């Protein structure tokens, strides 16, 4: 039981390590409003510069180290190997932050609107690229660790209760759901540990929100359709496999996804429309109350997303019913 709990915690922390704490930053690249950038950077750097590397990188590294040792002791050498690869990926991300990103961040902490270096745009973009590279490397580590869940142990072949193609499809669908959903594991974590959105100015908030909202309006429906379809297909295969407990867990995950989507459409959506009408000169006096309401709905959504991820992962921890293969 202790080993399973440790594996579960390690999985969640490895998924969280994909996050860099800064959120979407692509829109900050190029010749943006320097006042907006400095307002966001001063607050983000305050929370993330030191705490981020400890909470998002070093703690997952410690758990990955422990997990690799446990896999090796249990003679699960391939699982230990991929866990070590995940560990090395996280360490590489830490090195990128310390050696490349942090020196630039140290320079930027002294910037003001009136005292910018001539190459401030290239420096800012280089820093953003290093932050993104660190997350990309951690994502590769998350990928490697997810693979360990699909490595059969000796003597487990009798547990396969679907024909070859269907069993392969089930594993692919489960893998995709864990990998995609897991990358959202850091959202609830960030909400409480790095409350950047609560502290930035109104102008910074709407200028950051607008490009993200426009992008989500295009990508969101497509992403929802894909993830919901993965859920439905996996539910069907689990019921065909007579793994009812697993099927119900995926149904629970699908319900949590629908709850998240309902809140987004019913509550966040109208406020998003309102935000798009604001300009730096027309922000209402009570704008912070509206932001707080919008963020509160995001908190509920993040809770449902986290519950969905937990439900999917629990399919690996429930006992299998002994039935004959199809």
Whether residues 146 and 163 share a domain: the answer is no
Indicate if the pLDDT at residue 321 is higher than 70: no
Indicate if the pLDDT at residue 267 is higher than 70: yes
Indicate if the pLDDT at residue 324 is higher than 90: no
Looking at the chain, the whole-number percentage of residues with pLDDT higher than 70 is: 95
What does the pLDDT read at residue 152?
A: 67
Whether residues 5 and 147 share a domain: the answer is yes
End-of-domain residue from the set 121, 151, 181: 151
Whether residues 170 and 292 share a domain: the answer is yes
Closest CA to 161 of 146, 171, 173: 171
> Is 309 within 8 Å of 189 (Cβ atoms)?
no
What does the pLDDT read at residue 159?
A: 57
Segment among 81-95, 181-195, 216-230, 300-314 with least mean pLDDT: 181-195
Segment among 46-60, 141-155, 259-273, 289-303 with least mean pLDDT: 141-155
User: What is the band of 23 on the pLDDT scale with cuts at 50, 70, 90?
Assistant: confident
Mean pLDDT value across residues 218-233 = 94
What does the pLDDT read at residue 155?
A: 44
Burial of 123 (0-12, 13-18, 19+ CB in 10 A): middle
Q: Which structural domain range is residue 276 located in?
A: 158-326
User: What is the band of 55 on the pLDDT scale with cuts at 50, 70, 90?
Assistant: confident
End-of-domain residue from the set 151, 166, 197: 151
Whether residues 100 and 178 share a domain: the answer is no
What does the pLDDT read at residue 51?
A: 83
Mean pLDDT value across residues 287-316 = 94
Whether residues 108 and 244 share a domain: the answer is no
Whether residues 19 and 51 share a domain: the answer is yes
What does the pLDDT read at residue 154?
A: 46
Whether residues 270 and 170 share a domain: the answer is yes
Indicate if the pLDDT at residue 322 is higher than 70: no
Whether residues 134 and 73 share a domain: the answer is yes
C-beta atoms surrounding 145 within 10 Å: 30
Whether residues 129 and 54 share a domain: the answer is yes
pLDDT tens sequence across 157-188: 545 577 888 989 999 999 999 999 888 878 88
What does the pLDDT read at residue 185?
A: 79
What does the pLDDT read at residue 186?
A: 80
Considering its fold, how many domains does the chain have in total?
2
Indicate if the pLDDT at residue 281 is higher than 50: yes
Whether residues 304 and 173 share a domain: the answer is yes
Q: For all residues of the chain together, what is the average pLDDT?
A: 90
Indicate if the pLDDT at residue 1 is higher than 90: no
End-of-domain residue from the set 151, 183, 208: 151
User: What is the band of 276 on the pLDDT scale with cuts at 50, 70, 90?
Assistant: very high
Indicate if the pLDDT at residue 214 is higher than 70: yes
254-276 burial, b at 16+ Cβ within 10 Å, e below that, comes to bebbebbbebbeebbeebbeebe
pTM above 0.85, yes or no: yes
């Amino acid at each position: 039981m202790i080993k399973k709990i440790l594996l579960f915690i390690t999985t969640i922390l490895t998924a969280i390590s994909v996050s860099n704490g800064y959120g979407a930053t692509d829109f900050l690249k190029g010749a943006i409003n320097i006042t907006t950038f400095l307002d966001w950077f001063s607050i983000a750097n305050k929370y993330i510069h030191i705490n981020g590397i400890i909470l998002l990188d070093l703690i997952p590294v410690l758990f990955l180290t422990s997990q690799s040792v446990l896999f090796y002791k249990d003679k699960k050498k391939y699982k230990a190997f991929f866990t070590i690869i995940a560990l090395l990926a996280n360490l590489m991300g830490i090195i990128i932050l310390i050696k490349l990103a942090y020196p630039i961040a140290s320079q930027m902490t002294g910037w003001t609107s009136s005292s910018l270096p001539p190459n401030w745009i290239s420096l800012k973009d280089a820093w953003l690229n290093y932050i993104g590279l660190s997350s990309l490397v951690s994502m590769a580590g998350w990928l490697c660790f997810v693979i360990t869940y699909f490595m059969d142990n000796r003597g487990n072949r009798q547990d396969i209760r679907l024909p070859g193609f269907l069993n392969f499809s089930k594993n692919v669908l489960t893998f995709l759901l864990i990998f995609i959903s897991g990358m959202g594991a850091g959202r609830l974590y960030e909400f409480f540990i790095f409350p950047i959105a609560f502290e930035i100015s109104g102008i910074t908030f709407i200028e950051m929100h607008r490009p993200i909202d426009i992008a989500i309006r295009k990508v969101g429906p497509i992403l929802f359709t894909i993830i919901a379809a993965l859920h439905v297909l996996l539910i069907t295969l689990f019921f065909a496999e007579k793994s009812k407990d697993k099927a119900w867990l995926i149904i629970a995950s699908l319900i949590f996804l629908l709850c998240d989507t309902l809140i987004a459409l019913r509550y966040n959506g109208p406020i998003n429309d309102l935000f798009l009408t604001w300009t730096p000169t027309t922000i209402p006096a009570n704008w912070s109350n509206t932001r707080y309401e919008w963020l509160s709905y995001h908190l509920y959504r993040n809770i449902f997303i986290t519950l969905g991820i937990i439900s999917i992962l629990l399919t690996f921890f429930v006992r299998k019913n002994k039935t004959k293969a199809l």
